[in-house]
Chains A and B, each alone.
Chain A
Amino acid sequence: MSVDTTTLIPLPVVLPLLGAGLTLMLSHRPQAQRLVTISILTSVVAIASILVVEADRNGPQVLWIGGWASPLGIALVADRLSALMLLVSAVVTLLVLLYSLGQRMTDDQKEAPVSIYHPTFLVLVAGVSNAFLAGDLFNLFVSFEMLLFASYVLLTLGGTEARIRAGTIYVVVNMLSSSLFLIALAAVYAATGSLNFAQLAVRLDEVPDGTRLMLQLLLLTTFAIKAAIFPLSFWLPDSYPTAPAPVTAVFAGLLTKVGVYAILRVQVLLFPDSPLSGLLMWAALLTMVIGILGAVAQSDIKRMLSFTLVSHIGYMVFGIGLATQAGTSGAIFYVAHHITIQTALFLVVGLIEHRAGSTGLMRMGGLARLSPLLAVLFFVPAMNLAGIPPMSGFIGKVGLLQAGLAVGTPLSYALVAAGVVTSLLTLYAVAKTWGLAFWRTPEQAHEMMRALPGLEDDLDDSHHQHGFVIHRQHVHVGGTAFGTQELAEARRVVDEDQPDRDLHQRLEDGSLPARLPLGMVLPTAALIAFSLALTVVAGPLYGYTDRAAHDLQERTPYISSVLGDDR
């Protein structure tokens, strides 16, 4: 190729940042804002595709910003892993943006001021791209701050009470993890005198074992907070569900994966000799199992999905913890799969919220008949998430499980078992959602709501009525239990004076929009089609991730292309 492709490397960061400034200036002209944002995100997709091809053909592409001599300046590196992450995230952000444009025209006008949405979204994209391209730890820190700052604003859009409450926890947790990251940076710099990945990879070999272990633990803790790995995942299911649907979708798809990417990069490049396999695998096991148990307990679709998000992070950490080429390859494939599928599911939840007026499982029913399109849009990614063959979720899980069996330690067998159980429980959680929200009629849901407050008086008996069981203050419908919170909700719905209404009542009122807006459906369908395309091209994609994992395990392609050959 005649054009030097390394000049393209900074564009996924620079273009969105320029666009952010431009859209801020155009804040009174929404039409122009839309045009700028869409064209910038489309060109980022194109650039990322070129980088994927280049990185695959010619190895890691490196650009030293400002033309500083090799180890002095700031390097941006696009190797196979970075380029793939960049491409997937670019596609996802473009589709989410189109979706939010579709949503903006129909509802949510008050709660989300249009003028700041576009610039903030573009800063978020720039931060994510920069995190994938960063060639040194400090640049990684700066990109984390960029995307976090944008996420603070997006999460608290409109400043409603629920969003401020959830946002407070989110901001404080992330500020704390940023402080930890800074401590880690200071320690790494004191120990090695450098923050460049490639230089660190060389120099950390000479650092005493104890010091190196401390540095590794500091970095892992920081990234584990970002990636929501079990003991540090408490903040996620609380903060994500309150945001507007497209915001939750892009957070769920991308932000935690940036943490996973950072763990992967640091583990294989900087600390190849002491992988801390046991620790990571225990964390993966607990993340998977505890996350999915949380998902089963939820009675709101958004919260259920937030817990499955935490749970499935465990799969990726499992792959990284194995510290083999097959494990790394499986983890990379799973990240690509999970970004698309989790984002798609949250977009569908936005559609459900639009069509049914709520995401509470108690007050919904009959969506399959009400809107067959919506049912298909939910069903396909939900089955993909649970890992039903032949979809990409299945392929990713099989790859990881095979890698686990190949290692063959008792712990890896335990993780394989936990992976299968998690997959089954995921299926259970989404099937429960399906049964309640899509399968039964709205009348049944309403009947149950009406019956709940009346049945409080004889709570000590368990008895059957209308196909559900009351037992010990829990209302059991199939395998689902509802408790006191739901009883209060039911009382609000039944009470004539309250404005709270369930789906059946709102259908009677005719207060719900009858159709799904095309602007929201098309991007969602496109994203689901993209996730299915991952299944179709799974063979070549797995080949690509294998090569990426091979490069990562070798380390020399990255180091020699950043530092230059020893001449």
Chain B
Amino acid sequence: MNANLTLILTASFLCGTGVYLILERSLTRVLVGLLMLGNGVNLLFMVASGPAGEPPIIGSAHAEDMSDPLPQALVLTAIVIALGTTAFLLAMAHRSWQLNGHDDVQDDVEDAAIRLLAQADEASDSHDLSQELTTDDPGEDTFEEEGATT
């Protein structure tokens, strides 16, 4: 199979940028990342369908010259699904902004609590932990976002 190098390079660029953006904290950037990744993946389908050809309509061209219509149908489905998910994520980012004043992806509260327990276990008995672990505000150092609620 002859693959189109331009398509592959564009797809890999989009996927790479997408992954980089997904690693961000802000949900809007994550969303842009997911969209770029999705577009990159859709281009991969174009690579999978082989070289471009005539429109696949019976009577308009020879069967051998036609391009494969199936990957295009699959990509169309994928685009529609991505549209719906994007709208939903945007609504979530907006709701998050309404509630917290930001749209950052937040840590798991209970996980942080258990992480603190583990920290307490690592110190020896004679070590004074009360200096390091503030009991009234668990996760002071793990949730910087909580300060930014206004």
Give Cα A178–Cα B34 distance, bound, in whole angstroms.
Answer: 10
B85 at the interface (CB under 8 A from A): yes
A484 and B113 contacting across the interface, CB-CB below 8 Å: yes
**Cβ contact of A169, chosen from B48, B49, B85, B105, cutoff 8 A:** B105
Nearest chain B CB to A523's CB is how many angstroms away?
A: 29
Q: Mark B63-86, 1 if CB is under 8 A from A, else 0.
A: 000000011001001100100110
A483 at the interface (CB under 8 A from B): yes
The residue on B at minimum CB distance from A486 is B113
B89 and A171 contacting across the interface, CB-CB below 8 Å: yes
A473 and B110 contacting across the interface, CB-CB below 8 Å: no
Give Cα A126–Cα B45 distance, bound, in whole angstroms.
Answer: 27
B117 and A484 contacting across the interface, CB-CB below 8 Å: yes
B17 at the interface (CB under 8 A from A): no
Give Cα A496–Cα B105 distance, bound, in whole angstroms.
Answer: 34
B34 and A175 contacting across the interface, CB-CB below 8 Å: yes
Q: Mark A254-269, 1 if CB is under 8 A from B, else 0.
A: 0000000000000000
Q: Kindly list chain A residues whose C-beta atoms are within 8 Å of the C-beta of B89.
A: 171-172, 175
Nearest chain A CB to B25's CB is how many angstroms away?
A: 11
Q: Kindly list chain A residues whose C-beta atoms are within 8 Å of the C-beta of B95.
A: 159, 164
Nearest chain A CB to B74's CB is how many angstroms away?
A: 6
B144 at the interface (CB under 8 A from A): no
B135 and A297 contacting across the interface, CB-CB below 8 Å: no
Q: Kindly list chain A residues whose C-beta atoms are within 8 Å of the C-beta of B141.
A: none
B36-61, CB < 8 A from A: 37-38, 41-42, 44-45, 47-49
A168 and B92 contacting across the interface, CB-CB below 8 Å: yes
Give Cα A543–Cα B129 distance, bound, in whole angstroms.
Answer: 59
A331 at the interface (CB under 8 A from B): no
A208-250, CB < 8 A from B: 238
**Cβ contact of B110, chosen from A176, A182, A300, cutoff 8 A:** A300
**Cβ contact of A176, chosen from B22, B44, B100, B137, cutoff 8 A:** B22
A56 at the interface (CB under 8 A from B): no
If A303-B110, A472-B120 touch, whether A142 touches B77 (CB-CB below 8 Å) is yes
**Cβ contact of A491, chosen from B30, B114, B133, B136, cutoff 8 A:** B136
Q: Kindly list chain A residues whose C-beta atoms are within 8 Å of the C-beta of B84.
A: 149
A175 and B44 contacting across the interface, CB-CB below 8 Å: no
A172 and B34 contacting across the interface, CB-CB below 8 Å: yes
B138 and A171 contacting across the interface, CB-CB below 8 Å: no
- Which among A167, A168, A474, A487 has the highest number of chain B CB atoms within 10 Å? A168
B20 at the interface (CB under 8 A from A): no
A145 at the interface (CB under 8 A from B): yes
A152 at the interface (CB under 8 A from B): yes
Q: Kindly list chain B residues whose C-beta atoms are within 8 Å of the C-beta of A159.
A: 95
Give Cα A300–Cα B123 distance, bound, in whole angstroms.
Answer: 26
Nearest chain A CB to B18's CB is how many angstroms away?
A: 8
Give Cα A159–Cα B92 distance, bound, in whole angstroms.
Answer: 8
B88 at the interface (CB under 8 A from A): yes
A472 and B121 contacting across the interface, CB-CB below 8 Å: yes
Give Cα A159–Cα B70 distance, bound, in whole angstroms.
Answer: 39
Q: Kindly list chain A residues whose C-beta atoms are within 8 Å of the C-beta of B85.
A: 149, 152, 171, 175, 178
The residue on A at minimum CB distance from B114 is A297
Q: Kindly list chain A residues whose C-beta atoms are within 8 Å of the C-beta of B99.
A: 161, 164
Main secondary structure of the interface of B (DSSP, over half): helix
If A142-B77, A172-B30, A186-B45 touch, whether A483 touches B116 (CB-CB below 8 Å) is yes
Count of chain A residues with a beta carbon within 8 Å of a chain B beta carbon: 45
B45 and A168 contacting across the interface, CB-CB below 8 Å: no
A128-172, CB < 8 A from B: 138, 142, 145, 149, 152-153, 156, 159, 161, 164-165, 167-169, 171-172
Q: Kindly list chain B residues whose C-beta atoms are within 8 Å of the C-beta of A183.
A: 41, 44
**Cβ contact of A473, chosen from B47, B106, B108, B135, cutoff 8 A:** B135
Q: Kindly list chain B residues whose C-beta atoms are within 8 Å of the C-beta of A483.
A: 113-114, 116-117, 120
Q: Kindly list chain A residues whose C-beta atoms are within 8 Å of the C-beta of B70.
A: 189
Give Cα A456–Cα B135 distance, bound, in whole angstroms.
Answer: 9
Q: Kindly list chain B residues whose C-beta atoms are within 8 Å of the C-beta of A474.
A: 117, 120
Q: Kindly list chain B residues whose C-beta atoms are within 8 Å of the C-beta of A1.
A: none
Give Cα A161–Cα B30 distance, bound, in whole angstroms.
Answer: 19
A472 and B96 contacting across the interface, CB-CB below 8 Å: no
If A179-B37, A185-B74, A456-B135 touch, whether A190 touches B116 (CB-CB below 8 Å) is no
Nearest chain A CB to B150's CB is how many angstroms away?
A: 15
If A161-B100, A172-B22 touch, whether A186 touches B41 (CB-CB below 8 Å) is yes
A485 at the interface (CB under 8 A from B): yes
If A168-B27, A472-B125 touch, whether A484 touches B96 (CB-CB below 8 Å) is no
Give Cα A190–Cα B47 distance, bound, in whole angstroms.
Answer: 8
Q: Kindly list chain A residues whose C-beta atoms are within 8 Å of the C-beta of B47.
A: 186, 190
Q: Kindly list chain B residues whose C-beta atoms are within 8 Å of the C-beta of A460.
A: 128
Give Cα A474–Cα B70 distance, bound, in whole angstroms.
Answer: 60
Nearest chain A CB to B111's CB is how many angstroms away?
A: 7
B138 and A485 contacting across the interface, CB-CB below 8 Å: yes
Q: Mark B90-118, 1 if CB is under 8 A from A, else 0.
A: 00100110011000011011110110110
Nearest chain A CB to B86's CB is how many angstroms away?
A: 9
Nearest chain B CB to A58's CB is how many angstroms away?
A: 31
Give Cα A167–Cα B92 distance, bound, in whole angstroms.
Answer: 8
The residue on A at minimum CB distance from B93 is A168
Q: Mark B6-44, 1 if CB is under 8 A from A, else 0.
A: 000000000000000010000100100010011001101
Nearest chain A CB to B39's CB is how many angstroms away?
A: 10
A488 and B136 contacting across the interface, CB-CB below 8 Å: yes
The residue on B at minimum CB distance from A162 is B109
Give Cα A178–Cα B88 distance, bound, in whole angstroms.
Answer: 15
B92 and A164 contacting across the interface, CB-CB below 8 Å: yes
Give Cα A374–Cα B82 distance, bound, in whole angstroms.
Answer: 44
A152 and B44 contacting across the interface, CB-CB below 8 Å: no
B148 at the interface (CB under 8 A from A): no
Residues on B lying within 8 angstroms of A by beta carbon are: 1, 22, 27, 30, 34, 37-38, 41-42, 44-45, 47-49, 70-71, 74, 77-78, 81, 84-85, 88-89, 92, 95-96, 99-100, 105-106, 108-111, 113-114, 116-117, 120-121, 123, 125, 128-130, 133, 135-138
Closest 3 CB pairs of A and B: A485-B113, A190-B48, A483-B117
